[in-house]
Amino acid sequence: MTAFETARTPSRGLTAKRRERARQLTGELARGAGWALSGGWQLLRQDHAAALSDAARIVRGVQPARESMQSYRLVDRLLARSGPALADWCPDAQSPARFVFFVGYSRSGHSLVGSLLDAHPAVVIAHEMHALKHFHHGHDFERVVRAIKLNAMLFDYLGREYTGYDYQVPNQYQGRYEQLTVAGDKKGNGTLRLLRRHPELIDRLDSLLPVPFEFIHVIRNPWDNIATRARRTHTSLDAAARGYFANTDLMAQLKARYPDRVRDVYLDDLIADPRRELRALLEALGCTPVSDRYLDDCASIVFQKPSRTGDQVSWPPELADEVEGYLSRHDFLRRFAAGEQTSTSRQPGRAGAEP
């Protein structure tokens, strides 16, 4: 039995991951309850701006609230009650010509790419409100798009610092837009998990959305990505690799089903030349022209060098061989296999993602 096959069995790493997530969720819910009480008090005092701040804290800090359509209905009511006081924060009724789903892997740079796209005046990207889940549950397209607009606004309302990183693009359009062309949601790992649980969705997407859709597939050096997942989720390298390659197998299916709709964004390429990579991505999404000022402002927040977390762990030889096999198997990962690049594939960490 190989190291990777061994990793497919239940492990203490997965149990530790569940315990850690339960601990985090308990903390989120406790903080959310406090913010909700504060927000209710602010409404009684007719302090709508303070109430909106509390709503923003709940959406940003409590995952169940962030992924609940009810949260955005409540924010809509708050905005309606506030009259002119919060009029500038109330989204209009523009509908996008195209929709994007982020797909891929946690700790891979989705937050960075989503924040850069959201800064464009024709794009609005939600932070993990799980749009595909809502389409799957039968929510109306325009209602989901409005929730996306509110999510982006709420994340901008209190500033773009998140999980220890500052994703604020100066002088640009985060949380707002001018002429809306593209709307989407940055829930890469969660979107793939939902597609794995409901594979019939892969063939139903055309019937669920009234506009063309595409996938943005952010790819970080897998050695870095796996090592970071193991560290941040308190699991073993085996367990982290298992989750990573379950996603890569599904990505291969998705790319085969929609060969012209998956946009690969390599994090190392984005860091090396953010202007070129962003321009290419936005032109592919139909957002033209792309101004030099926008590209310069986005480039100013991109990390300057990779975080090589994969170099900071000891890879069991059998697991390393299994990883190499997966890298060689999928064309979109082959550049990270041994012999395919000047730096060895076991030197992880193209930056722009969490160490």
Q: What is the pLDDT of residue 232?
A: 86
Q: What is the pLDDT of residue 37?
A: 43
Q: What is the pLDDT of residue 18?
A: 60
Q: On the CB side of 107, how many CA atoms lie within 13 Å of its CA?
A: 25
Give the DSSP letter string of 251-313: HHHHHHHSTTTEEEEEHHHHHH-HHHHHHHHHHHTT-----HHHHHHHHTTS-SS---GGGGS
Residue type, 127: H
CB 250 within 8 A of CB 101: no
Question: What whole-number distance in Å separates Cα of residue 122 and Cα of residue 79?
Answer: 23
Residue with the two structure tokens 């076991």: 346
Rounded to two decimals, what is the model's pTM?
Answer: 0.85
Find residue 215's DSSP bridge partners: 101, 262
**Environment class of 220 (CB within 10 Å of its CB; exposed 0-12, middle 13-18, buried 19+):** buried
Q: Let me know how long the chain is.
A: 355
Give the DSSP letter string of 216-249: EEEE--HHHHHHHHHHHHT--HHHHHHHHHHHHH
Q: On the CB side of 34, how many CA atoms lie within 13 Å of its CA?
A: 7
Q: What is the pLDDT of residue 45?
A: 47
pLDDT by residue, tens only, the chain of 355 residues:
333 333 333 344 556 556 655 555 455 444 544 545 454 535 544 677 888 888 898 888 888 889 999 999 989 988 988 888 889 899 999 999 999 999 999 889 999 999 999 999 999 999 999 999 999 999 999 999 999 999 999 999 888 877 778 899 999 999 999 999 999 999 999 999 999 999 999 999 999 999 999 999 999 999 999 999 999 888 899 999 999 999 999 999 999 999 999 999 999 999 999 999 999 999 999 999 899 999 999 999 998 877 888 888 999 999 999 999 999 999 999 999 985 543 434 433 323 455 5
Find residue 103's DSSP bridge partners: 217
